[in-house]
Amino acid sequence: MLVPGETVWLRHLQRRRIGLVVPFRAVADLGDAVLLWAPADAAAWHFTLPDGRGTSQVPLPQWSASDRIPAPHTIDHGVLSWHPRGRDYSIRWFFRPDGTFFRWYANLEAPPALWRHGDLAGLDTTDWDLDVVVEPDGSWRWKDEELFATRLTMPGAYWVDDEDRVRRAGREVIALAEAGVFPFDGTWRDFRPDPSWPALPRELPDGWDRIDV
């Protein structure tokens, strides 16, 4: 169980390597899902090779076989992230810095794996690249279809091995959006974080890269 207000380290795993780290505040553990929050200007970390090249600048086989280092950046919008247990996606509510909701983002990904190690709490998943963007009026579009299709041609290097499963997850999200039902029914569009929560960490903690948790 996550404790409201605690820091939760979201990690995107690419097989046994890390591709993204973002600290969130735990909003609620809902039993069948967890709800997380990160404000605009929160710290996050993409990864590069030691020479500074990122995933878009390196052939995928080289990227998958190489050691990486964290590269800090900041989030430019607030993110309320809902991770249903056992489902192949998370849904993110995007908010402008003034708190105005402006879009949903369905990240197609492996079901969440929650972990604790010492004082650290985290949520691991594998980002499947293909996503669905949903606008406030319920209209939707696929995102990163070309990237997804290209990487599928390199199965020895790619961390996605079931195209049909990914597309099924996307179609499930699209059906919900077209029906205008949860999570696309207006729930949490007026979300406001607890003002007593401290700022999220801007440095990676000891143990952030431990995989066998």
pLDDT tens, per residue, the chain with 213 residues: 899 999 999 999 999 899 999 999 999 999 999 999 999 999 999 999 999 999 999 999 999 999 999 999 999 999 999 999 999 999 999 999 999 999 999 999 999 999 999 999 999 999 999 999 999 999 999 999 999 999 999 999 999 999 999 999 999 999 999 999 999 999 999 999 999 999 999 999 999 999 875
Task: Answer yes or no: is 193 within a domain.
Answer: no
Peptide bond connecting 183 to the previous residue in cis, omega within 30 degrees of 0: yes
Closest Cα partner for 81 from 66, 67, 91, 69?
Answer: 91
Range of the domain at 116: 7-179
H-run or E-run covering 113: strand 113-117
Is this model's pTM higher than 0.75 or not? yes
177/136 Cα distance (integer angstroms): 10
Task: Answer yes or no: is 198 within a domain.
Answer: no
Domain count, the chain: 1
Q: Would strands 101-109 and 69-74 be described as parallel, antiparallel, or unpaired?
A: unpaired
The CATH number assigned to the domain holding 48 equals 2.40.380.10
**119: helix, coil or strand?**
coil
Task: Answer yes or no: is 39 within a domain.
Answer: yes
